[in-house]
């Protein structure tokens, strides 16, 4: 009987340890996102899932989770990333909106997935038009 209980406790400990490791990886290292729109077509289609590396650019951490209860603005800080954002990188960020003209806030449950086309100091110029039917620039 002791061997059966010991075996069950070992398996239970393994499952709990696996869940704890998965939670820590999800909080600090990687996350999964579903593509909400066709703005990244044809490279990434709506409904596709992507795996996001949070360590590259730095994960955002919350000081507390009181904002989930009362809907206030969360206090956040960002972990230092291992690499800078470069042209062509695919970025996932919260949907920005402005309640007033003094501050831009983020919608925590909505995400944008976009490709980086410009960095600080770059000058962008839009030439021609976007042909929606063929999804190409000309």
Catalytic residue among 41, 56, 75, 114: 114
φ/ψ of 107, rounded to 5, equals -90, 110
Q: Which residues contact 66 (CB under 8 A, 6 or more apart)?
A: 72
Catalytic residue among 18, 39, 41, 83: 39
**Structure tokens that stand for 52 in this block:** 């996001």
Q: Is the peptide bond before 42 cis (omega within 30 degrees of 0)?
A: yes
Q: Are strands 103-115 and 49-53 parallel, antiparallel or unpaired?
A: unpaired
- Respond yes or no: is residue 39 known to be catalytic: yes
- How far is 22 from 65, CA to CA, in rounded Å? 20
- Respond yes or no: is residue 75 known to be catalytic: no
**Structure tokens that stand for 4 in this block:** 């059966």
Active site residues: 39, 114
């Amino acid at each position: 009987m002791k061997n059966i209980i010991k075996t069950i406790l070992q398996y239970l400990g393994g499952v709990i340890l696996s869940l704890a490791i998965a939670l820590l990886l999800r909080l600090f290292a990687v996350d999964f996102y579903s593509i909400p729109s066709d703005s990244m077509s044809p490279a990434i289609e709506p409904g596709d899932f992507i795996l996001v590396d949070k360590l590259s650019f730095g994960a955002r951490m919350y000081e507390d989770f009181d904002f989930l209860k009362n809907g206030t603005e969360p206090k956040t800080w960002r972990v230092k990333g291992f690499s800078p954002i470069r042209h062509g990188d695919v970025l996932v960020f919260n949907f920005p909106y402005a309640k007033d003209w003094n501050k831009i806030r983020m919608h925590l449950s909505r995400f944008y997935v976009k490709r980086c086309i410009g960095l600080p100091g770059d000058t962008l110029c839009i030439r021609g038009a976007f042909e929606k039917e063929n999804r190409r620039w000309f």
